[in-house]
Amino acid sequence: MEKPAGTATVNATDALMRVEDLVMHFPITQGILVQRQVGAIKAVDGVSLSVKRGQTLGLVGESGSGKSTIGRCIVRLYKPTSGHIYLDNDDLAVAQGTQLREVRRRVQMIFQDPYASLNPRFTVGGLIAEPMQIHKTGSKAEIRERVEQLLDRVGMNRRFIDRYPHEFSGGQRQRLAIARAIAIEPEFIIADEPVSALDVSIRAQILNLMQRLQDQMGLTYLFVSHDLSVVRHVAPRIAVMYLGKIMEVSDRDEIYSNPLHPYSSALLSAVPIANPRVEKQRKRIILKGDLPSPIHIPPGCRFHTRCPIAQDICRQVEPPLEDKTGSNHLAACHFSDRVGSLTKAGSVQGLGTL
Ligand SMILES: Nc1ncnc2c1ncn2[C@@H]1O[C@H](COP(=O)(O)OP(=O)(O)O)[C@@H](O)[C@H]1O
Ligand code: SF4
Ligand SMILES: [Mg+2]
């Protein structure tokens, strides 16, 4: 039987993490005494993804496209409406009790804002020790020794162990958040815009640290960002998300040189190129309007209200996410063969909403 649109299992071989047809709808209710559901915010609307062990998958898309909600479902801050989230063979979407505790050890999350994500009342030592105390990984002395090793590992001085997070800069705080995330030796880390709140000058340091830890510990990352220029540095494979669904998934070089979805093409056209001569000749794709509301998702292809090459069929039939090249380059577009011409000809001038 044919799978419904958007449910193709992406690159499932050797996957440590496999998300299959994930749905997260937040109900909208009305009523004073009796609450009645009158609609839903369709934040994630049938997403399938997979990440190979030891690799990084970049997840990009405009703000509000549902990226963080996927991350929050994976770490089970949210219980998904439906779908599967396999870590090896365990389905995190339905895990509970002991299995859920075990999942929480194996999967950790790093957040965008290290100011908000670290409890200001804890010392550095307390913050990094907490996950180890929760998971009872050793005696008090062993945990303190381990905290010191973790501070070394993330490039922070051991002397900082009794200080408080407010005494540190954004970059240093993100290092502390990373130390906390790796304290119980997880396998999978969701990094949700981990450098977006940091000064450009220190972004590379944090990205390098994440890369080094990946090499040393064999970590697998889902790297979430609205910024393609960041994702291109860290992720050999990239998924592009729009309004709750994946529009395109491909290896990095392939998606940069040959995008097969107009939305990816628009995002890419907004990324500056260092060479001023090439930059001057480049055409930019303008996207009409804002991201539609996830309460009222456009029928057919959900991108049709902003797509520069939309046709009648796009308003009626949802395109499936399918391999367009035979080399694991997936796109959800009826006219992916026309996308290449978008940046070569036509009017193109800047994309505002990223
Ligand atoms: N807890 C929540 N309750 C209701 N709506 C939510 C909740 N979390 C996110 N949303 C909505 O879901 C959509 C996707 O949000 P999010 O996953 O944060 O997107 P992104 O991370 O791509 O910016 C947005 O419209 C957002 O307002
Ligand atoms: S299916 Fe149609 S509307 Fe959707 S991206 Fe492709 S051309 Fe645009
Ligand atoms: Mg987000």
Q: Which CATH number goes with the domain that contains 141?
A: 3.40.50.300
This prediction has a pTM of 0.91
Confirm whether 90 is domain-assigned.
Answer: yes
By most ligand atoms within 8 Å of CB, the mutation choice from 28, 41, 73, 227 for ligand 1 is: 41
Confirm whether 21 is domain-assigned.
Answer: yes
d(CA 259, CA 252): 10
**DSSP-H helix ranges across the chain:** 67-74, 97-106, 114-117, 124-134, 140-153, 170-182, 200-217, 228-234, 252-257, 262-269, 276-281, 312-316
Sheet harboring 56-60: ordered strands across?
107-110, 188-192, 220-225, 56-60, 237-242, 245-251, 330-331, 322-323
**Element of type H or E holding 166:** none
Lowest mean pLDDT, pick from 177-191, 213-227, 275-289, 295-309: 275-289
- Pocket lined around ligand 2, Cβ cut-off 6 Å: 261-262, 301, 303-304, 307, 309-310, 314, 319, 333-335
Q: What share of the chain is helix, strand, coil (3-state, %, to 5)?
A: 35, 20, 45
Confirm whether 129 is domain-assigned.
Answer: yes
Confirm whether 150 is domain-assigned.
Answer: yes
Using pLDDT thresholds of 50, 70 and 90, give the confidence band for residue 99: confident
Atom of ligand 2 nearest to the CA of 307: 8
Q: What is the number of domains present in the chain?
A: 1
Confirm whether 352 is domain-assigned.
Answer: no
CA 342 vs. chain centroid, Å, equals 26
pLDDT at 145 over 80: yes
Mean pLDDT of all residues in the chain? Answer: 89
Confirm whether 347 is domain-assigned.
Answer: no
pLDDT in tens, 151-190: 999 999 999 999 999 999 999 999 999 999 999 999 999 9
Looking at all shown ligands, the one closest to residue 320's CA atom is 2
Confirm whether 126 is domain-assigned.
Answer: yes
Atom of ligand 2 nearest to the CA of 338: 7
Q: What residues make up the domain containing 133? A: 15-26+42-341
Confirm whether 350 is domain-assigned.
Answer: no
**Do residues 84 and 20 lie in contact, with contact meaning Cβ atoms separated by under 8 Å?**
yes
Cα 69 to averaged position of ligand 3 atoms, centre (Å) = 7
pLDDT (0 to 100) of residue 182: 96
Average pLDDT of the residues in 320-324: 97
Average pLDDT of the residues in 240-260: 95
Q: Which of 3, 79, 89, 100 is nearest to 48 (CA)?
A: 3
Atom of ligand 1 nearest to the CA of 69: 17
**Do residues 288 and 311 lie in contact, with contact meaning Cβ atoms separated by under 8 Å?**
no
Q: Which of 166, 152, 165 is nearest to 212 (CA)?
A: 152
Cα 69 to averaged position of ligand 1 atoms, centre (Å) = 6
